[in-house]
Amino acid sequence: MKTTGIFKLKGVVQHYDWGGFDFIPSLLGQPHPSPLPCAELWLGAHGGGASIAELTDGSVPLPDLLTAAPAKVLGVAVAARFQNLLPYLFKVLDARKMLSIQAHPTIAQAQAGFEAEELAGVPLKAPTRNYKDRNHKPEVHVALTDFWMLHGFRPLEEIAESLRNIEELQPLMPDFAERLELAGNDAAARSALLRELYGHAMVMPQAVVDSLLNPLISRLEKESPTNKDLPDFWAVRAAREFPLPDGHRDRGIFSIYLLNLVRLQPGEATYQSAGTLHAYLEGVNVELMANSDNVLRGGLTPKNVDVAELMRVLSFDEGKVDVIHGIDAGNGETVYPTPASEFELSRIQCSKDRVYHSGTRAGPDILIVMEGEITATADVDKLQFKKGESFFASQDCSYEITSQSGFAVVFKASIPSSR
Ligand SMILES: [Zn+2]
C-alpha cells in the first residue's frame, strides 16, 4: 500500500435531525433537497465516521493508513504526541435548526471525568454518560453563510439591562443590578454573581421555570419577532423546537438572554475554548476541532443535561465575543489562529497565476474545495479536485495547488508548527 503523498478523501455525511437539506448535498454534487437532513460532512479518522482514502491501488479507511505508516503519514513528532491518531476532526456543518447549548471540558477535566465514569461503571453508550473519551474539544469555525450563534456570557451590564427590560425575566434575580453595582470591577465578585445567576436558572424547580417562561413565550408568540439579531426571535424558535413533555418549558431559553448573540459574516470565525458556553443557531460553517466527543449540555436538547457537571466545567467569564477575522499568511492563504495545538484552520484562494505551495509541514493536512476546481501536485502525483471534493496530504510530502478554472477557494486543516 502506498501510504505517502496526496490522496482523494471521501467524507461521511451525518444525518442529524437539525441538519439542512440542500447545502451539503449540493456541495457534494448530489440531488437536493435530500430526503434526509444532512447536518455534517466529516473529514477525518474519527471512529464515528472515518473518511475513506482512495489510493491508486484501492480504497482504505483513513485510520488504516495512519496505522500502516504513522511516522510518514502523521510525521514522527505528531505520531508520538498524539498516539498515532489524527488529532483533529474537520467538518462542514449546516444548521437548519438550533443545536444544544453546550460547553466542552479541559483535558484534565475530561481525564478525571472519564476515569470517574469508568470506575462508576457507566456504559460508554449510556445516555447519561458525559465523557466519551479522555480528550478536550476546542473548536474553531468559519462561517460560510450568515451564521447565528450564542457564544460566552454577555457583559454583566448587558444582562442587567435585559433583566430590567424584560419583565418576565426579572424574577431570575430581582436584585441582580444592585449586586452588580456592589461587585463593581471586582472580577472575582462579578464571576461569582454570574455563577449564582446561571446556577439558579439551571436548578430552580421546573414549576418556577414554567412560571417565568410561559408568560414570556406567550407574549413573544403574539409579537412574532422576525429579527434574528435579537434574542426574542430565538426564544420563540427554541420554545417551538424544544417543547418538553406535558407543556413544560426548556430552561435553556434563559441562556439565549444571558449569552452573546452573534451573527458572523461569511469568512468570520470564533474559537470555543474549554468552558465557553455556546450554541450554533443557524447557518453553514467549516469547523475544525480536537478529536473528541466530550460535550456537556445546558438545554435545548432532548439529550441528557447534567447540571452539576456542567457547572464544574463552565467558565463564568463575561465579555463581548472575540470574532476572528483571519491573518493573511501570503500565498493566498488566510489563517485563523487559535491557542489549540491540535489544529489550524485556513482558507486558501487560488487563482490562475497564483500557485499555493504547502512547503514542509508539521503534520498531515486535509483540504476541501468549496469553490472552483483545483489541481494538486505532490512529487509524481497530480490529481484534479472539483467543488466538494477533498484530499489528504501525508506529512512527509509537500504539495502545490493551482486553479485552471481561474479561481478556487479551499479550506485546509493542518497542525500548527509553532506549538
Ligand atoms: Zn461545541
Which sign, positive or negative, has the C-alpha torsion 58, 61, 64, 65?
Answer: positive
Pairing of strands 381-386, 296-297: unpaired
* Predicted confidence (pLDDT) at residue 183 exceeds the cutoff of 80: yes
The stretch 52-56 carries a mean pLDDT of 93
List of long-range contacts for 384-388, beta carbons under 8 Å, 24+ apart = 385/8, 386/29, 387/27, 387/29, 388/27, 388/28, 388/29
Across-strand partners of 374? 385
1-23 confidence digits (pLDDT tens): 788 899 999 999 999 999 999 99
Distance 104 CA to ligand 1 centre (A): 7
Across-strand partners of 14? 40
CA–CA separation, 353 vs 369, rounded Å?
18
327-414 folds as Jelly Rolls (2.60.120)
CA–CA separation, 25 vs 31, rounded Å?
6
DSSP-derived 3-state class of residue 386: strand
Q: Which residue has the higher pLDDT, 368 or 354?
A: 368
Rounded to 10°, the helix 231-241/206-223 angle is 120
Q: Please, how many CA atoms are within 13 Å of residue 403, restricted to the half-sphere of its CB?
A: 22
Cα-to-chain-centroid distance, residue 239? 23
Give 3-state DSSP helix, strand, coil % of the chain, rounded to 5: 30, 30, 40
Distance 192 CA to ligand 1 centre (A): 24
Place 96 in a pLDDT band, splitting at 50, 70 and 90: very high
261-282 confidence digits (pLDDT tens): 999 999 999 999 999 999 999 9
* Predicted confidence (pLDDT) at residue 419 exceeds the cutoff of 70: no
Q: Where are the domains of the chain?
A: 327-414
Place 294 in a pLDDT band, splitting at 50, 70 and 90: very high
Average pLDDT, the chain: 96
* Predicted confidence (pLDDT) at residue 47 exceeds the cutoff of 90: no
Distance 294 CA to ligand 1 centre (A): 9
Place 418 in a pLDDT band, splitting at 50, 70 and 90: low
Distance 272 CA to ligand 1 centre (A): 7
Contact 253, 168 (CB under 8 A): no
Distance 138 CA to ligand 1 centre (A): 8
Distance 205 CA to ligand 1 centre (A): 27
Distance 184 CA to ligand 1 centre (A): 31
Is the whole-model pTM more than 0.85?
yes
Distance 51 CA to ligand 1 centre (A): 21
Residue 70 DSSP label:
H
Question: What residue type is 270 in one-letter code?
Answer: T
Three-class HEC string of 170-184:
HHHCCCHHHHHHHHC
Active site residue 297: yes
Q: Please, how many CA atoms are within 13 Å of residue 322, restricted to the half-sphere of its CB?
A: 11
CA-wise closest residue to 275 among 141, 99, 103: 103
Q: Which three cell numbers stand for residue 196?
A: 449564582
Q: Report the pLDDT value the prediction gives residue 354, as an integer from 0 to 100.
A: 87
How many percent of the chain have pLDDT more than 90?
94
* Predicted confidence (pLDDT) at residue 122 exceeds the cutoff of 70: yes
123-147 confidence digits (pLDDT tens): 999 999 999 999 999 999 999 999 9
Distance 275 CA to ligand 1 centre (A): 10
Contact 73, 48 (CB under 8 A): no
Contact 228, 282 (CB under 8 A): yes
Q: Which three cell numbers stand for residue 387?
A: 467543488
Place 204 in a pLDDT band, splitting at 50, 70 and 90: very high
Active-site option among 129, 297, 347, 361: 297
Distance 379 CA to ligand 1 centre (A): 38
> Which phi and psi (to 5°) does residue 191 adopt?
-65, -40
Q: Report the pLDDT value the prediction gives residue 404, as an integer from 0 to 100.
A: 79
